């Protein structure tokens, strides 16, 4: 029994039940060099479409970039078309020239993860590089991966062709990917990369905090009330009054009772 009850503190929970999700910007960088066969390039594009379509339900934006000797930004985050992305990927024609993978990564880090290209400053950033792993500018990997780290870009390396049978190619995938390699290096025909990214995105869905209002209520009553009675006789009628005013009150609960002498 709480007796006397000069002052009580309770919490109101208003509205609620919505969820929010962290935004994520995902850039794909495709190896369009001549060492990649036309079939392999088609498989790369299928992979890009599969991953994009599986992650559309999240708060995601995508960019599609191809590199060979030069790098071409086909679709940046601002140009990404949620309903027409399959056409956007299908429209990418393989360049078939040299293999400047590190330079391609630099272009994505500087020009695609850039607010002028529609990148969202508060978004998580993911770069997915799809390659056979035999570049001509491998000496630049430390420089470009540290640029990417400076922008908190998580890097996945997806191997096609002989990427896993030629040791130097596998080394390149490992140099491109964020550590640990076991979580960030995959074959293009594996669904593990997609599963891992989807799991990460699912974990970033957070319920919006209810608006919690704390109030102090001075009760001038000589009656002694237990906690159930306070809820029934004081708080619920108060919540009903708020509802009458058009305020959505999801719940009301007594958090703490101070028995301060008046
Ligand atoms: C793309 O998705 C289809 C349908 O789930 C699947 O059969 C195919 O193996 C996937 N291809 C790639 C490269 O991810
Ligand atoms: C997005 O793609 C859809 C389907 O292809 C197309 O109808 C629409 O015009 C495109 N939107 C833009 C802004 O290009
Ligand atoms: C962002 O892109 C603009 C041009 O589109 C470029 O001038 C600027 O240097 C880029 N920002 C960074 C940080 O690279
Ligand atoms: C990268 O992440 C760190 C730690 O969360 C943060 O302090 C920093 O501001 C981030 N940098 C950028 C460019 O978002
Ligand atoms: C509070 O008091 C009422 C009687 O007014 C009683 O029925 C109820 O069991 C009490 N509840 C608690 C938690 O003590
Ligand atoms: Mg090549």
Q: Which H or E element spans position 104?
A: helix 101-107
Query: Measured from the CA of 81, which atom of ligand 2 is nearest?
Result: 1
pTM of the model: 0.74
The alpha carbon of 79 and the centre of ligand 3 are apart by a number of angstroms equal to: 17
Ligand 1 in contact with 54 (CB < 6 A)?
no
63-106 pLDDT, tens digit per residue, is 999 999 999 999 999 999 999 999 999 999 999 999 999 999 99
Query: Measured from the CA of 84, which atom of ligand 2 is nearest?
Result: 2
Ligand 1 in contact with 130 (CB < 6 A)?
no
Query: Residues in the chain with pLDDT < 70?
Result: 1-20, 204-224, 248, 250-251, 253-262
137-161 pLDDT, tens digit per residue, is 999 999 999 999 999 999 999 999 9
Of 2, 226, 230, the residue with max ligand 5 atoms within 8 A of its CB, to mutate for a pocket test, comes to: 226
The alpha carbon of 17 and the centre of ligand 4 are apart by a number of angstroms equal to: 30
Q: How far apart are CA 168 and CA 122, in angstroms?
A: 36
């Amino acid at each position: 029994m709480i007796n006397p009850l000069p002052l009580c503190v309770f919490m109101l929970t208003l509205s609620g039940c919505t969820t929010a999700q962290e935004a994520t910007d995902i850039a794909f960088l495709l190896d369009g060099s001549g060492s990649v066969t036309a079939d392999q390039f088609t498989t790369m594009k299928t992979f890009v479409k599969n991953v994009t379509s599986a992650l559309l339900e999240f708060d995601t934006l995508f960019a599609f970039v191809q590199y060979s000797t030069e790098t071409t930004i086909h679709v940046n985050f601002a140009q990404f078309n949620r309903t027409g992305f399959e056409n956007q990927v299908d429209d990418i024609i393989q360049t078939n020239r040299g293999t400047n993978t590190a330079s391609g990564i630099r272009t994505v880090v500087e020009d695609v993860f850039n607010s002028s290209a529609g990148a969202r400053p508060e978004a998580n950033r993911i770069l997915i590089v799809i390659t056979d792993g035999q570049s001509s500018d491998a000496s630049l990997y430390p420089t470009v991966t540290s640029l990417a780290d400076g922008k908190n870009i998580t890097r996945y390396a997806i191997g096609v062709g002989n990427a896993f049978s030629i040791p130097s190619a596998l080394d390149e995938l490992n140099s491109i990917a964020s550590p640990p390699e076991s979580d960030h290096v995959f074959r293009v025909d594996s669904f593990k990369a997609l599963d891992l990214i989807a799991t990460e995105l699912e974990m970033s869905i957070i319920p919006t905090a209810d608006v919690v209002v704390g109030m102090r209520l001075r009760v001038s009553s000589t009656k002694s009330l237990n906690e159930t009675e306070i809820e029934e006789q004081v708080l619920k009628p108060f919540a009903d009054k708020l509802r009458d005013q058009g305020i959505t009150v999801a719940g009301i609960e007594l958090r703490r009772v101070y028995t301060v002498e008046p």
